[in-house]
C-alpha cells in the first residue's frame, strides 16, 4: 500500500492487462475489475483514459507533487551561510560567558598596602 490509507498500488502489468481487456476483448470495467481482483471498477476507467491520452508511458509516471530537490550548489551555499552564522553565535556566546564570569571582579589590580 502507498499514498492514502486504504489505497492499493497496482503493478503496471495489471494496468496494461486491464486496458487490453477493455480495448481488445471489449469487457466492461466491472467485468475487468472482477476478473483481475480490482476493488473499484472506476480505477480501470481512469487507466483506460490515461492510456488513450498518453499511451503506456502514462503508467510509469509518478503522480502527485514531485519531491523538492535542492541542487548541490545551493545546498553548499546554504550550509556555508549556516556555518558562518553558527560560528558568529558561538563567539558571541563565549564573550558573554567571559563577561559574566568577570562580574564583580575589578578590572584593575590592587597592590598590597600595609
Residue 70: phi and psi, rounded to 5, are -105, 120
Q: Match 498500488 to its residue by C-alpha cell.
A: 9
Mean pLDDT of 97-105: 83
Identify the band that residue 1 occupies on the pLDDT scale cut at 50, 70 and 90. Answer: very low
Task: Single out the residue of 19, 7, 13 nearest to residue 64, CA to CA.
Answer: 7
Task: Let me know how long the chain is.
Answer: 114
Task: Encode pLDDT of 45-81 as tens digits.
Answer: 999 999 999 888 888 776 677 666 668 778 888 899 9
- pTM, two decimals, is 0.51
The one-character DSSP state at 102 is T
Identify the band that residue 35 occupies on the pLDDT scale cut at 50, 70 and 90. Answer: very high
Domains of the chain, residue spans: 12-59
Q: Count CB neighbours of 15 within 10 A.
A: 23
Amino acid at each position: 500500500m502507498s499514498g492514502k490509507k486504504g489505497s492499493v498500488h497496482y503493478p503496471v502489468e495489471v494496468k496494461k492487462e486491464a486496458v487490453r481487456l477493455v480495448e481488445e476483448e471489449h469487457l466492461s470495467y466491472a467485468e475487468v475489475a472482477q476478473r483481475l481482483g480490482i476493488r473499484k471498477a472506476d480505477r480501470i476507467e481512469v487507466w483506460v483514459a490515461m492510456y488513450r491520452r498518453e499511451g503506456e508511458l502514462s503508467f510509469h509516471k509518478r503522480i502527485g507533487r514531485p519531491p523538492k530537490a535542492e541542487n548541490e550548489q545551493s545546498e553548499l551555499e546554504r550550509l556555508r551561510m549556516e556555518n558562518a552564522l553558527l560560528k558568529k553565535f558561538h563567539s558571541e556566546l563565549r564573550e558573554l560567558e567571559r563577561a559574566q564570569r568577570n562580574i564583580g571582579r575589578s578590572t584593575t589590580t590592587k597592590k598590597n598596602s600595609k
